Amino acid sequence: MTGQGVILYGPPTSGKDTTTTALTRQAERYVLLRKFKYGTGRSTGYRQVSRAELDDLRRSGRLIVETHRYGNVYAVDRNDFTALLDDGRIPIVHMGNVADLERLRAGVRLDWMSVLLWIPRTVCAQRSLHRGDVDTPDRLKAWDQTYRDVQAAADRSVFNLVIRTDQASPAEVARQITEAVATAPRQPASIPDDE
């Protein structure tokens, strides 16, 4: 496969959905790659599948990455990349951990822009409460996991861009990403070392 892609990674409430909306408004070429989801909870942005459907997709070799979080399974479909790239689009993929991010980059050879959207833990808690999450303690546990995940990857060139979403508007975050996508070559970015 040839083309470009954007990976958004960050703790809960860091703005992956908001950033995706801003990117798709700024340029039609950007489109969210909707993952398959098996499980409960929020369905917006996902294609719900049964256990049998997920097993069939796995057996057919279509799944590039599977992420297990919140008791659910989220999976990336190889065929979706082909369709988007054939249409001249730039897929945006939300990832839940660094290992899966790296697995995606290895499994789909694109010119990837890996973006870490970051917020402090206190901001995560505030945003989670403000949007009415009933599972804020789980979101904070996920923030802690993300922080450890990012720190463990500090010696590797995982991210090309790091943006504090509590310090920039969604339009500004999207502008920074679109500018970075247009710039080559990809440079590694420093990751946050504070909570």
pTM, two decimals, is 0.90
Answer whether CATH 3.40.50.300 is correct for domain 4-33+90-182.
yes
Q: Domain-by-domain residue ranges, the chain?
A: 4-33+90-182
Give me 122's structure tokens: 């206190």
> Tens place of pLDDT for every residue, the chain, 195 residues?
678 999 999 999 999 999 999 999 999 999 999 999 998 877 787 899 999 999 999 999 999 999 887 789 999 999 999 999 999 999 999 998 999 999 999 999 899 999 999 999 999 999 999 988 888 888 899 999 999 999 998 888 899 999 999 999 999 999 999 999 998 656 666 666 665
